[in-house]
Structure 1
Amino acid sequence: MLDDNTSLELADLFKVLGDKTRIKLLSLLASEDELCVCDIAESLKMGQSAISHQLRVLRAARLVKFRKAGKEAFYSLDDDHVLILMHMGLDHVQEH
């Protein structure tokens, strides 16, 4: 049985993953090594401000990381656990 703190952290993670824009963003990053905000915004047909907001949420949940290169920030998935979560969730929803 999970303790209260662990249960809360897991519930918070699933809340972050419960947004279709963030899922699309993670899926895009899963197919690329890393992308800048402008490339993500163009691919998802959204404004850079909206993308930056979603990236902040994903970064706070430790699902994405970034590196600075001059004035640009390049984002990528934080680690292989994110890919595993995505693949397992996708397998589950595609199972009939």
Structure 2
Amino acid sequence: MKKNTKSNIEICQTIEVHGDIVKKVQTNTPDEETLNKLTELFKVIGDKTRMKILYTLMQVEEMCVCDLSYVLGKTISAVSHQLRVLRQANLVKYRKVGKVVYYSLDDEHVKELIEVGYIHINEKK
């Protein structure tokens, strides 16, 4: 058998269904609604500006919109729009102090998602 590469993908040379494996996968695969939610989560994270916001918020407890705007080199309006999308996906939360709005990651899971992704892309294969 040849080594798998992106240009050379091996496929089965016979048709054989492994019932035990198929049953296990079917039993453990989430329902369509859950898969749709997971897909939407990764679509939200998949935007470069939103990823920069999340990565920035990983480094501090919280940040105001003005500081995020300055760090990212984007307008306050542009950052606010992306924060709204992240908030709707439950990836960030906010608190308001007077006229200042501070954002932070919604929970530790958001940080873990990004950390695992970072580790994965930097693996030496």
Identify whether the pair has TM-score above 0.5, normalized to the shorter chain.
yes
TM-score (norm 2): 0.76
Q: Which runs of 5+ in 1 are unaligned?
A: none
Is 2:92 the partner of 1:64? yes
Is 2:71 the partner of 1:43? yes
TM-score (norm 1): 0.98
- Calculate the aligned-residue CA RMSD, in Å: 0.5
Partner of 1:84: 112
> With CA pairs under 8 Å and 6+ residues apart, which has the higher RCO, 1 or 2?
1
Secondary structure in 1 aligned to 2:33? helix
The structure that is helix-richer by fraction is 1
Distance 1:65 1:7 in 2: 23
Q: Which runs of 5+ in 2 are unaligned?
A: 1-28
Displaced runs of 4 or more, over 2 A: none
Percent of aligned pairs with the same residue? 52
Secondary structure in 2 aligned to 1:66? strand
Secondary structure in 2 aligned to 1:2? coil
Say which of 77, 80, 83 aligns to 1:52: 80
